[in-house]
Amino acid sequence: MLHPADTGVFCTPRHVADNLTALARKCGFRQLRVSGGEPTIGKAHLLKLLDLLKDKGFSFVLETNGILLGYDEDYAGGLAKYDFVHVRVSLKGCNNQEFSMLTGADSKGFELQLSSLGKLTEAGVRCHPSVMVSFSDRENLGKLKQKLRQIDPDLAEQVEVEELILYPHVHKRLEKYGLRHISGYEPSKVPRKLI
């Protein structure tokens, strides 16, 4: 199991904002991204970071599983005041059962993921869903798109499809948890359009 405190450092919103913007300017990037470790867990930290990035001329992609955005009635509204933010909600599977299989969490978490997309859309926050389909068949993906269409027709058209890249450590984890994938790519055979 990973222990974040042993592998990294905790940074203030100011430190994160300064480092992100300095690196982006140095490399000529116009887009900033925060991902990993579920950045929505620290709501006050995230909102302060966005306050510090406001009017800096960057677009910002927030990558999240969406669970807290679906649970917290005010979170999506809090993000709505930042017009430079786009939220990428990473769905863990195409339905409750796949969510539970992939995460080991209560299947109700999947409904919170879908709820987050509804709340973000209602609040006027730009967003799109991504979904790991390597464990899903076409029928389940089709059913997911129907659910997304009910939330907002555009969401079904904006689904970003993700598939496994079967690095050696990924193979080991799949074996460890007894997960069987339907699709995936060996690292040397990932289609160029997915890179």
Mean pLDDT of 119-135: 96
Residue 130 structure tokens: 């991504």
Q: How far is residue 172 from each of residues 68, 70, 94, 148, 175, measured CA to CA in Å? A: 30, 32, 23, 33, 5
- State the average pLDDT over residues 112-133: 97
Q: Which amino acid is at 123?
A: A
Are 79 and 120 a contacting pair, CB within 8 Å? Answer: yes
Q: Which domains does the chain have, with CATH numbers?
A: 4-162 (3.20.20.70)
Triad 6, 8, 12: Cα angle to 5°: 125
Rounded to 10 degrees, the C-alpha dihedral 88/1/95/87 comes to -10
d(CA 85, CA 108): 27
Burial of 131 by CB count in 10 Å (0-12 exposed, 13-18 middle, 19+ buried)?
buried
Gap between the Cα atoms of 86 and 37, Å rounded: 18
pLDDT in tens, 24-39: 999 999 999 987 789 9
Residue 2 and residue 14: Cα distance in Å, rounded?
26
Mean pLDDT of 60-78: 96
94: number of Cβ within 10 Å? 25
Which band of pLDDT confidence, cut at 50, 70 and 90, is reported for residue 5?
Answer: low
Question: Could you tell me the pLDDT band of residue 3, with boundaries at 50, 70 and 90?
Answer: low
Average pLDDT over residues 132-139: 93
- Residue 12: pLDDT over 80: yes
Does position 194 have pLDDT exceeding 80, yes or no?
no
Say how far apart CA 145 and CA 13 lie, in whole Å: 36
